[in-house]
Structures are given as structure tokens and as C-alpha cells.
């Protein structure tokens, strides 16, 4: 930490001294805690489902710690690569690197160190299959999405979102030590959910993405065109979520919750599409309403994944 802090201090001298609170906040910010929360939300419930009950506390703690470090490493390295566009975007210009609280070298060392530690934690305390899956997710996120897809194609988040689906596989393998169709179905739920969730946010910040020439779908299509695709992916998301019932043999709690949540999700998607057909103005389309609901949808759906086996017992 001394070396990392010296990097911060050297850079901070050009723009004022950074307090220890600033330093700690900067490094925490590099990991993107809100993103990590969502990833863990799709990891721990799958562990409950795989265990058909409450998994061992030590295993849960090791998986959460390893998963947090792994995701934090990937997010920190993403910040290093994207620092040029982060500095120009309104949504990201308050991050540590654009504010010059942390240097790129310090962030790089920080991210690589966390990646090594996370691999060792998952490998020795969970299993090496889970550790390998976490490494694969990070590699795809960094090389596939961040370096290749993000700045080149409107399908960036569709395929780049694969990295965010891996926690379902990691949670399952942490308990069972092997892969199965059940976590694959949950993987696909997150895969098809990601575009509606991300495109809704990208609509809110489409001017930012346009300014830095990142071809997110809302940059190259009007609101109606984006909303139409959001509706299509939302339908597939709900259909795949219901497929877990026959594939995994869940109780009745999960399919009932999935059906109710899915119905509300689809209603919200269609309402946004209707508004987008009338106006292209963000104030009229209200994409953040769908964005926030999509967070709620996935959260409650995976809570149902965790609760279902407990109630059956």
C-alpha cells in the first residue's frame, strides 16, 4: 500500500494534497462497488439453490471475498484502459483516474494484485474450477469487451455482457464442483437481461457516449428503435427465467415469483416503447424508470432462487 500511496501522492501534488479518506475512497471507487453488489447478488443465491438449503458459512464467505476481489480487479483494470473516455463523460469524470487522485500505474498494480489474490482465494478456499471461471470472466471483460467490443460495435454490451453472467456458474461450482444445466439457464437469464438494463442507462447518457465515439445502441438508433429491442430482449429474459422451473425442478415459489416479476418487467418495457414512439425526448421516454425496475427485477428473481429450496425443506 505504501508504493500505491506514493503513486497517489506524486500525482496529487499537481492538483492539491489528497487526504487518506480521498485515497481510500479512490481505490474503493476503482472497484465499482455497485457493480460488485449486483454480481454477488447472482452468486450467493445460486449457492443456496445448489446446496438445496443453506451452504456452509465458510464457503460462502470465501466465495464472496474471492468474487469481490475478482470483480474489483476487472473493474479497476477497466478504469485504467478507459481513463481517456472516462475523463470526457459526465457520468464517469468523477472517478479516481480522471480526477488524478490515483495514477494509471498505481491502478494497474492495484488491479493486478487483486486478481492474483482473488485467484488464490478461490482456488485454495473454494475450488480451482470456480477460480478458473472467475479468471475467464475477467479475461473476457477486459480483452473481449473493454479492449475490442466497446468502442467498435453497437452489439458491445450484448456480447460483452457475457462476463457479468459468470457469477451464476461460479456460485454453482463453488458448492458442487461441477457445471450443470441449472446454472446455464441462470447464466442465460443474466445474459438476456443485460441489454435492456444497460441500454436504458445508455439512453440517459447517450450524449456522453456520442461525445467519446462509443457506439452504444442509443447513440446510433432513435429511442423507438432502442425501446423495440429492449422489449424483445425483455420477453426472452422472462421466458428463459421461467425455463428454470422444469429444468431445475423448482418448487412453486420460484415460478410464481418469476411470473409476477416478469409480467411487471414486460409492462414497463412496453410502456417505455409506447412513450418512445411518441417522443424521442428523454424526459418523455423516461428510460431510468426501466433501468431501476430492471435492477429490482433481477434482485428479487435471485432472492426467489435462494428462498425456493429453503421453503421446500
How many CB atoms are located within 10 Å of the residue 291 CB?
19
Quote the pLDDT of residue 23. 84
Quote the pLDDT of residue 17. 64
In the CATH hierarchy, which fold is given to the domain comprising 1-152? Tetracycline Repressor; domain 2 (1.10.357)
Q: Cell digits for 185?
A: 439457464
**Segments in the chain below pLDDT 50:** 1-16
Q: Which long-range contacts (CB under 8 A, 24 or more apart) does 285-291 make?
A: 285/203, 285/223, 285/227, 287/199, 287/200, 287/201, 287/203, 287/204, 287/223, 288/200, 288/201, 288/204, 290/196, 290/200, 290/230, 291/197, 291/200, 291/201, 291/204
Residues of the chain with CATH 1.10.357: 1-152
How many CB atoms are located within 10 Å of the residue 280 CB?
14
Say how far apart CA 85 and CA 28 lie, in whole Å: 20
Whether the pTM exceeds 0.75: the reply is: yes
Quote the pLDDT of residue 64. 97
Give the orientation angle of helix 287-312 with respect to helix 253-278, to 10 degrees.
Answer: 170
Quote the pLDDT of residue 13. 40
Residues of the chain with CATH 1.20.120: 180-313
| CATH no. for 180-313 | 1.20.120
Amino acid at each position: 500500500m505504501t508504493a500505491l500511496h506514493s503513486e497517489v501522492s506524486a500525482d496529487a501534488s499537481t492538483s492539491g494534497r489528497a487526504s487518506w479518506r480521498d485515497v481510500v475512497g479512490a481505490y474503493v471507487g476503482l472497484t465499482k462497488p455497485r457493480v460488485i453488489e449486483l454480481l454477488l447478488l447472482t452468486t450467493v443465491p445460486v449457492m443456496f439453490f445448489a446446496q438445496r438449503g443453506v451452504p456452509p458459512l465458510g464457503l460462502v464467505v470465501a466465495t464472496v471475498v474471492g468474487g469481490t476481489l475478482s470483480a474489483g480487479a476487472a473493474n479497476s483494470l477497466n478504469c485504467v484502459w478507459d481513463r481517456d473516455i472516462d475523463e470526457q463523460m459526465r457520468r464517469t469524470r468523477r472517478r479516481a483516474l480522471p480526477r488524478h487522485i490515483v495514477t494509471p500505474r498505481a491502478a494497474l498494480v492495484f488491479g493486478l494484485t487483486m486478481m492474483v489474490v482473488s485467484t488464490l482465494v478461490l482456488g485454495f478456499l473454494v475450488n480451482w474450477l470456480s477460480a478458473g471461471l472467475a479468471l475467464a470472466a475477467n479475461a473476457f471483460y477486459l480483452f473481449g469487451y473493454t479492449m475490442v467490443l466497446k468502442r467498435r460495435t453497437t452489439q458491445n454490451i450484448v456480447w460483452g455482457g457475457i462476463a457479468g453472467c459468470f457469477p451464476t456458474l461460479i456460485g454453482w461450482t463453488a458448492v458442487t464442483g461441477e457445471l450443470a444445466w441449472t446454472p446455464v439457464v441462470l447464466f442465460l437469464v443474466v445474459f438476456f437481461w443485460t441489454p435492456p438494463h444497460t441500454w436504458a442507462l445508455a439512453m440517459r447518457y447517450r450524449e456522453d457516449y456520442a461525445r467519446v465515439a462509443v457506439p452504444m445502441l442509443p447513440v446510433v438508433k432513435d429511442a423507438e428503435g432502442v425501446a423495440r429491442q429492449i422489449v424483445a430482449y425483455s420477453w426472452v429474459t422472462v421466458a428463459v427465467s421461467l425455463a428454470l422451473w422444469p429444468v431445475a425442478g423448482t418448487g412453486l415459489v420460484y415460478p410464481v415469483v418469476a411470473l409476477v416479476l416478469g409480467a411487471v418487467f414486460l409492462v414497463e418495457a412496453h410502456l417505455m416503447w409506447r412513450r418512445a414512439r411518441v417522443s424521442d425526448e428523454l424526459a418523455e421516454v423516461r428510460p431510468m424508470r426501466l433501468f431501476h425496475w430492471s435492477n429490482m427485477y433481477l434482485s428479487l428473481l435471485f432472492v426467489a432462487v435462494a428462498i425456493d429450496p429453503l421453503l421446500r425443506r
